[in-house]
Amino acid sequence: MRKKNPNITAIIAFSWFFLIIIGYYVTHKPINPSQTISLVTHVWKIFLSLWFITLAGGLGRKLFAFKNHEPWTKSYLQAGVGIGVLSILVLLIGSLWTVKPILFLGIFLILSIFLFRNSLSWVKEFFLKANEIKQKNNRVTIFIFILLGLIFLSQFLVALAPATRYDALNYHLTLPKAYLMQERISDIPWLIMSGMPQVSEMIYTFLMGLGGESTVLVFNVFIGVLIALGLVGFLRKAVDQESAWVGAASLFGGLTFASALSWGYVDIMSAFFGLGVVLLLDDYRKSGDMKTIFMAGVFSGLAFGCKYPSGVIFIAGLLSLIVYSLKNKNRDWAKSLGMFCFGAALLALPWLTKNFIFTGNPIYPFFFESGSMNQIRLNVYQGMQPYGDLLDLFFLPIRATIMGVDGTYGYSVSVGPLLLGLGMIAFLGWEDKNEEHKVSIVNAGLITLFGLLIWAIGNQFSGYLIQTRFYFVLFPAFAILAGYGYFQIKQYRLGQVRLGRLVAILVIIVLAFNAFQLISEMVEKDVLAYVFGIQSNQDYLEKNLGWYARAINEVGMLENGEKVLMLYEPRGFGCIPICDPDEILDHWKVAFHEFDSEEEILTFWMNKGYTHLLVYDKGIEFLREDEDPHHPPVELDALEELTTSLELSATYADWYSLYRLDNR
């Protein structure tokens, strides 16, 4: 009898199984066409963000080896260099030529070809270290890893949805959108934030051009992952794995810092570059290498390039270097300080130069009249009384931790209890510490000390500068101290009880509370309904932004040639170029003080092409109740009187009113 061919039997068996599955899903579709489009879009956003970071890592690897650092820290530093270089590249191309998605795609493909090997090596080194570290985890690190994973996952899902945070819709995402619409990077008269340093926004412009607004948010989540792994890599080499993960947990155990991963702001990017300054200054103190101090300056320049207040890391780093040089009688002190300053200037000057060329003011929009800023606007933007009292000057870290609550007046940030609670403990048992630990603690401690002093003093000049978010650039230094603090407290016992076990439990509880709160907020926003294609873009926005989303959507659907002036509503992302957002809430103030009558004001507006007026009624109500000195009742009363003479086109509950200007 002839023997059967086993391959034919196997093919028949598999074909049968495969055809039954296909047949089943022909009549039982698990996903509809709109969900398929949504899924493909999400995959593209994720791929684009990951591949951009990988290319940045490959570019950084090609330029600098960072041989003194542990692989995760090295990978983080190389990615930081690459991101910084790419941001300056976008600035130069966009200012001198153009910004178009097709151009970005070409750059993307060219970089992928030329940096493929470097990028692949960057990825391989990163994951080889991950496998090694995975084998050395204990129960504490596993719990922390799981909770951090839940925190990042919750914010990753939020990031896949449309942006809803205030400043993102005001300028962080509006700037890139405006650049893409005008196909050029330049001064934008109606958006004075175009004068701010924009390392982050340059990257956002690139990513938004290829993947839309949510790609920016997804990118920020991955930046947060790099911060965590860079911290863990540094602390693991310095102390131990458990303390390293606690250091990372102390940073993301703060509600605001963790939730900011999905905001689309620039503060996470500031912290990203701030970590590099701390790590490289630490390396310089141990190695004395001039290239390292230069790169520390470069990272401080990149931090400044994210936002002006992040320049605090440069000042704090410079002062810590001076203290180090004086204490150790460093003969090369002038050279080291010069290299640090040169590295910082190299990455800060492009933004100052851009402002000077476009507006005549290198630090636009601050301090003196220039560009679109007159004295009235300067008074609105800069004038704010110092926050709090002397307690906020002398007890700032305690006050910011205990009194700071996310989204409220003043500090406006929930930093979590771990940074302060563990950070101070790092300085205990000083005599028993080894020299390397002392160097690292002093380095992070001095940066922290000088940073806090600048924070406290800055508030005495303007109450705006009390906001904790402005100083996220310093938070990696706080987290390093927290890691050392945990390592120190593990050495103590109360009788037979090891304090480390109790502290570990408390750390896990804090992180669990944070994860629970962030997941709860994600569920409340209906993020999953959007991510899985069940809810539309507009429905999601109306769920989370209320009548603002409805008003902006309808403004965006006005006929060609119509243009809307917004009063007391600064968020213009969803309606530009049809709308002119009230960026610093001064459209009415400027008109009120520059013209003598309502007729002159209306004529001026119509001559500028405005056909409608969108007034944020609830915003005006809030300013009245808050008795904001920048918006006295006489001005608000005059606006209400003017609107009574206009034709009301639409109302949105009692939140917004849309008036016609050309039908009086």
C-alpha dist (Å) from residue 464 to 221, 411, 412, 469, 471: 27, 9, 11, 11, 12
- Name residue 652's beta-bridge partners: 656
Residue 2 has pLDDT above 70, yes or no: no
* Pair of tokens at residue 153: 């996952």
Contact 348, 301 (CB under 8 A): yes
Helix, strand, or coil (residue 289): coil
Residue 270 has pLDDT above 70, yes or no: yes
- ∠642-646-652 over CA atoms, to 5°? 100
Kindly list the strands in the beta sheet with 564-567, ordered across the sheet, starting from the edge strand earlier in the chain.
Answer: 579-580, 564-567, 612-616, 656-660, 647-652
Look up tokens 């996310």; give the residue: 406
For residue range 187-226, list pLDDT tens digits in order.
Answer: 999 999 999 999 999 999 999 999 999 999 999 999 999 9
DSSP track, 124-138: HHHHHHHHHHHTT--
Residue 334 has pLDDT above 70, yes or no: yes
Length of the chain in terms of residues written: 664
Question: Whose CA is closest to 276, among 199, 203, 207?
Answer: 199
* Model confidence, pTM: 0.95
Residue 135 pLDDT: 57
Local confidence band at 314 (pLDDT 50, 70, 90 cut-offs) = very high
Q: Rounded to a whole number, what is the distance in angstroms from the first to the last CA of the chain?
A: 101
**How confident is the prediction for the chain on average, in pLDDT?**
92
* Pair of tokens at residue 640: 């209400």
Residue 134 pLDDT: 61
For residue range 480-523, list pLDDT tens digits in order.
Answer: 999 999 999 999 988 777 888 999 999 999 999 999 999 999 99
What whole-number distance in Å separates Cα of residue 573 and Cα of residue 551?
Answer: 13
Residue 332 has pLDDT above 90, yes or no: no
Q: Give the mean pLDDT of 599-609.
A: 94
For residue range 58-98, list pLDDT tens digits in order.
Answer: 999 999 988 888 899 999 999 999 999 999 999 999 999 99
Q: Give the mean pLDDT of 340-355.
A: 95
For residue range 113-155, list pLDDT tens digits in order.
Answer: 999 999 999 999 888 766 666 656 788 999 999 999 999 999 9
* Helix runs in 395-498, H state only: 396-402, 418-423, 435-461, 475-489
Q: Give the mean pLDDT of 9-22.
A: 91
Q: What percent of the chain has pLDDT over 90?
A: 78
Q: Which residues contact 427 (CB under 8 A, 6 or more apart)?
A: 441, 445
Local confidence band at 29 (pLDDT 50, 70, 90 cut-offs) = confident
Residue 638 has pLDDT above 90, yes or no: yes
